[in-house]
Amino acid sequence: MSLYNRLVMQSSLIKKYIMALTGIVLVGFVFVHMAGNLQVLLGQEAINAYAHALQNLPAPILWGSRLFLLVCVVAHAVTAYQLIKENRAARPQSNEVEITKRAGWSSLRMGLTGSLMLAFIVFHLLHFTIRTIYPEYNDLKTTVGSPDGSEIHDVYSMILAGFRIDAISVFYVFCMFLLCRHLAHGVSSMFQSLGLRSESWRCKLDFAASAYGWIIFIGFSIIPVLVLAQKYGLVNCLDTCGSSCSVNL
Share of the chain above pLDDT 90, in %: 58
Note the CATH number of domain 3-91+101-231: 1.20.1300
Specify the pTM.
Answer: 0.83
Show me where the domains of the chain are located: 3-91+101-231
Residue 94 is predicted with a pLDDT of 52
Phi, psi of 152, rounded to the nearest 5 degrees: -130, 170
242 has pLDDT over 50: no
Chain segment 176-232, per-residue pLDDT in tens: 999 998 898 888 888 887 777 777 778 888 899 999 999 999 999 999 999 999 999
Q: What is the DSSP string of 106-134?
A: HHHTHHHHHHHHHHHHHHHIIIIIS--SS
Most confident of 63-67, 79-83, 115-119: 63-67
Which one is predicted more confidently, 116 or 107?
116
CB within 8 Å of 143: residues ≥ 6 apart? 149, 150, 151, 152
Distances (CA, A) of 137 to 140, 144, 156, 189: 5, 16, 11, 39
Residue 183: count of CB within 10 angstroms of its CB: 26
Lowest mean pLDDT among 11-15, 100-104, 148-152, 221-225: 100-104
Residue 25 is predicted with a pLDDT of 95
Residue 81: count of CB within 10 angstroms of its CB: 13
Chain segment 86-107, per-residue pLDDT in tens: 777 766 555 544 444 444 545 5
- On whether the CB atoms of residues 237 and 246 are closer than 8 A, the answer is yes
